[in-house]
Each structure stands twice: as C-alpha cells, then as structure tokens.
Chains A and B, each alone.
Chain A
Amino acid sequence: MLPEELTADVGKPIQQLTAREARAWLREQYERLSSQSSSNKMPGQSKRAALPEAVDAFELKYLTDAQQAGARLTVKLFNTETFSGRLVGFSPYALTLCLDDGRDITLQKLAIAYYTRAAEATA
C-alpha cells in the first residue's frame, strides 16, 4: 500500500492518528487479511506447512464433497464384505451410509480397506 493510499484509507495522515484509532485500523486490517486467507484454505488445513502424512485434508475434502453431493459410496472392508449407500456422515474414525433399504450403517475406518463413488462400477 502506498503512503497516499494509506492516508486515503485511514482518512487522515497516519502521523495524526491517535493510539486508539491506530489500534482500530490495525484490527480491521488483521480481520480483513484473516478472512481472505481462510477462504482459500481446504477444510481442516493447518496454518503451518505440513507433510502430506501429517494432515488428513485430502480425505476430508473427498468426503465433504461426496456428502454435499449426496453421493453413493461403495465401501469394501478388509474382510472383502462390501456396502453401498449414500454417505450421510463421517468422522476421522467412521463413515455412516444410508443403505438402499433405508437402514443406516456406521463403518469403522479400521475395518475399511477402500471406498469409491458408487455411481460407476467398483472393483
């Protein structure tokens, strides 16, 4: 920001600002910058840089998108059992599907081998 832009934004030369006015202006700028930066983040993304294995943002985004789209998932468990249904909820530890017969089932992630969108055929 150029000095003249700063003066226009503040409404007077910064040398004439009182401490209270300066604090209020800085607070406004901080809140503006915070809202701008947070709108570009993925859900769950940390402020600090992190290795891929230290975050769960990709799976979180996949599940958030699937739930918002009312997508059907096919979930295969490690014992090869398979469930298909609409994703109605999830947490870091479980997925909840609404099955075709209307029942809800919660599957623990520890029992899941993999899952995929069910609109197309799965493995």
Chain B
Amino acid sequence: MSLGDHLRFLRAMRGGPAFDALADKLNEADRRKARDLEVRYRDTSDESIVRKLADCYGAPVEELMWHRARSRRSLSDYLLAVSSENRPAELRLRSGEVLAGSVVWWDLAAIGLQPADGRPLLVVQRHAVVDWPLAG
C-alpha cells in the first residue's frame, strides 16, 4: 500500500479531519504536500514531511516509510510483470489475508483477480493491498 493510501486510511480512522484541521502541526506547504499524497497519488514526500505526518497521526515513522517504499507504481509494475509472465499474483491485504490469482485487469482503484479454483472474479481494492512479493 502506498504512503498516500495509508495516510488516507489513518486520517479516516481519526474521523477524517480536513487538511486545514492539521494546521497546528503542518504549515500550508506541508498540508499541500499531504493533500497531493492522498488525493493526487503524487509522492512529493521527503523524510521531513514523513516525520511530521507520523507525528500528526501518532504513527511510527518506520511504518510510514515502509508504505512509502510500496508505491502505486510499484504495485502496477508487479501486476504487469506477473500478467506478462502468466504467473498468479499474490496480494496481501491489511487483514492479513493473502489473495492469489491471475490478474485480469487493473485500474485506478481496483484489481480484477481471477482465482485459480474457479471462484468468480474478485475485485480487490488497491488501497486494501498492503504488500506483494518483491515490494519495497
């Protein structure tokens, strides 16, 4: 899961405060970066903003850095690689559940995953995928 997706989750779990409500810990430029990370999936982060965001959300810096290393592009690269090689994808979800199957499609928000056991297509939300092989 990318840093932006994880920040969106953390903000939602704290009642979804507006970015302006974080003004006591983030200046205007930092809030703009935080918004870009979440809303536009644009990773403009550096270690300084990651530390400030960790402080904002009461999360360990290491946790945010771990997610920072798992960008949306990295997940796309993995999906493309397994699709090209006709290999099943393995996606670990936030719940700890691991889903495996052939990648039928993917887009901005979701991944169409066809399990090998004949079950119908699973539509996996990108933001629920926290890890995958060779990530980070």
Contacts and interface: CB of A to CB of B under 8 A. Distances in A.
Whether chain B is bound by chain A comes out as: yes
Interface of A: 51-59, 62, 78-80, 92, 109-110, 112-117, 119-123
Closest 4 CB pairs of A and B: A113-B128, A59-B110, A58-B105, A114-B124
Given A57-B107, A78-B94, A110-B9, A123 B122 contact: yes
A65 B112 CA distance: 14
A122 B127 contact: no
Given A78-B93, A113-B128, A58 B112 contact: yes
A116 B119 contact: yes
A114 B125 contact: yes
Given A110-B12, A112-B128, A113-B93, A55 B123 contact: no
B109 A56 contact: yes
Contact of B120 (A51, A57, A59, A120): A120
B76 interface: yes
Interface residues of B, number: 29
Nearest to A112: B125
Contact of A58 (B9, B72, B106, B119): B106
Given A52-B107, A58-B112, A116-B122, A80 B99 contact: no
27 contacts: A51-B76, A52-B108, A53-B72, A53-B76, A53-B106, A53-B107, A54-B108, A57-B107, A78-B94, A79-B95, A80-B95, A92-B109, A109-B127, A110-B8, A110-B9, A110-B127, A112-B125, A113-B93, A113-B95, A113-B124, A114-B123, A114-B128, A115-B123, A116-B120, A120-B120, A122-B122, A123-B122
Contacts, number: 86
Given A55-B107, A78-B94, A123 B121 contact: no
B86 to A, nearest CB: 18
Nearest to A110: B12
- Which of B73, B94, B107 has the most A CB atoms < 10 Å from its CB? B107
B66 to A, nearest CB: 17
Interface string B115-136: 1000111111101100000000
A106 to B, nearest CB: 15
